[in-house]
Amino acid sequence: MSNKQELAALFNQIGTLLEVRGENPFKARAYYKAAQTIESLETDLDELIRNGQLKEVPGFGPAITQKILEWKETGTIGYYEELKKTTPLGLLDLLRVPGLGPKKIAVLASTLQITDLEMLEEACRENKLLTVPGFGPKTQAKIAAGLEFIRAHQGSFLWMQGMEWAIKFQNALAAHPAVSRVEIAGSLRRCLPLNNRIDLVAASTSPSEVTTFFTSSELENKLELYGKIVIQQTAEESTITFQHDYKVHLIVVPPEEFPFALWFHTGNEGHKQALIQRAAELGYQLRPDGLKKETTRVVCQNEAELYQYLGLAYIPAELRENCGELEAAAANRLPALVEPEDIQGLFHVHTKNSDGLSTLRELVEGAINRGYHYLGIADHSQSAYYAHGLTKEALRRQWEEIEQLNREYPHFRIFKGIESDILPSGELDYDPETLAQFDFVIGSIHSHFQMGEAEMTERILKAMDNPYLTMLGHPSGRILLSRPAYQVNLEPIIEKAAEKGLIIEFNANPFRMDLDWRWCLRAKQLGVPIAINPDAHTVGELDLARLSIPVARKGWLEKSDVFNTKTTAEIAAYFSKKR
């Protein structure tokens, strides 16, 4: 995260804290506005501070300026720390409930003294919300459903968040003199979008020394953990929780057992049982501590050798879901999975013309610096008023800027696109004459999520009949840990994409990872191209496409299955033919 993004996030958090506490709305708005100003600064923040020019930025009064200088000097803001300390922790948890924003939370806190999820749940059970102005039966029902969703995902975390922490633990353990090898295992290694535990397997001849270090205050301080609790500790196995939501499990084994333990603790259960059965049919006994043939122990240096002994090609961890991977490995038909460097360009990128935080030029230069060859701009369409959707006049101005930048960067191509709302009727936002002028059109659902399955499916199928639709965006509409997918039958949608030659998006935002990997596999089977899109709103988020590749690989995707592995010329030809 860049300096200005860090500071903007801090000001946004101050605004949120003020709102949930029910304080002066103008005060909260001032911090939100300051955050927005910081995010959109075209001059380097450090340069403004260094030259004493902060006060020249519109909207930066003495109070905001003083806090920016304090943050620069100390890394935090005292006012924020004080607000955080004096705000009930549970109030911020309430923000996780779909449809419950800071203002409504403040109302519930002042009228019903609700300050955490448990109190809110009890109030819903007793219909107390119906006594609060602005909270009718529908609102209460929606909040109750949101609470149920949160409870079902208690303790879960996103793959990217989990991997970030898992790598920190892995590096800390790898640096310990008693550890010879350490790897991430479990569902994180299999790259599931949602996880509920970080699993680590380490090799050591002194296991108790390693588990003692793992549960020690030394590691706690080194990794800046808070709320750490040791749940289990033995000489070979330990489990801790930290940061309230994260559970970490460590297994320590002798070095000669490491490949087998890593395989076993990676899973999944179906894959393990299938491999154990195959081993038995070949006269082997496969266990977490080794592979034996009668009384002879088989030595394996790594997992690849284990699979080789059992007559199989090495199966990448992402594919170990008992979905035909053993049969494919036996027949030497495993896919050559797509790699991050295969991605040649990006689609579904938002500029500050709609709800992005970076300019078109900044995004273009950011893409070039990352080695990309093209960029597909797709701001929100006019009906998306909440995201400052582009009017026809705004589109014309953007197209002029795109043409100018295409002249300025002749070896890089910017494609004119839009993320057009799929309206409740199934129509695409904008008239046909306007849609015809884009290089590509992404159709996405952003409203009326409560439709029944048949109605929602028909809505999307109708949009797919529009001759200007190129790509279907975040097809299930899910936001992991925040909002379930809307009710939709994706089978006929994928079948229609195959029939119409449409592209389906794998949205690489860590909260979406949508199309789900199981449906990516189905799309691959039907020959539907998948575009791995970052849904970027900042330059930094351009990285999401490559970072999310491990999750996309779960759908058996190869380079040829992914639309944006094509060259610029191939992309241009595809769009031209489509038009």
Q: Which amino acid is at 26?
A: F
What are the residue ranges in the chain where pLDDT is below 50?
1
Main-chain dihedrals φ then ψ at residue 566, nearest 5 degrees: -75, 160
pLDDT digits (tens, 9 = 90+) for 92-135: 888 888 778 888 999 999 999 999 999 999 999 999 999 999 89
Question: What confidence score (pLDDT) does residue 5 get?
Answer: 76
pLDDT for the residue numbered 482: 84
The label of the residue with tokens 């090799």 reads 203
Cα–Cα distance measured from residue 292 to residue 310, given in angstroms and rounded to the nearest whole number: 12
Q: What is the 3-state secondary structure (H, E, C) of 450-508?
A: CCCHHHHHHHHHHHHCCCCCCEECCCCCCECCCECCCCCCHHHHHHHHHHHCCEEEEEC
Q: Which residues contact 71 (CB under 8 A, 6 or more apart)?
A: 7, 10, 77
SS3 326: helix
* Chain centroid to CA 470: 23
Give the separation between CA 200 and CA 186, rounded to whole angstroms.
Answer: 8
Is the backbone peptide bond immediately before 268 cis, with ω within 30 degrees of 0? yes
Q: Which tens digit of pLDDT belongs to each residue from 128-162?
A: 999 999 898 988 988 998 898 888 888 899 999 99
* 427, 377 Cβ separation under 8 angstroms: no
Q: What is the predicted pLDDT for the residue at 256?
A: 97
- Both tokens of 533, joined, read 């899109």
Could you give the dihedral angle defined by the CA atoms of residues 404, 408, 412 and 415, in that order, rounded to the nearest 10 degrees? 0
Please name which of 502, 505, 424 lies closest in space to residue 469, comparing C-alpha atoms: 502
First-residue to last-residue Cα distance in the chain: 39
pLDDT (0 to 100) of residue 55: 84
In this structure, the chain runs to a length of 579
What is the tens place of the pLDDT at every residue in 182-232? Answer: 999 999 999 999 999 999 999 999 999 999 999 999 999 999 888 899 999
Provide the 10 A C-beta neighbour count for residue 78.
11
Nearest to 365 by CA among 408, 308, 418: 408
Joined tokens for residue 579: 């038009």
All domains of the chain in start order, with CATH:
3-152 (1.10.150.110), 157-253 (3.30.460.10), 275-330 (3.30.210.10), 340-578 (3.20.20.140)
What values do phi and psi take at 293, rounded to 5? -120, 110
| Collapsed DSSP state (helix, strand, coil) of residue 76 | coil
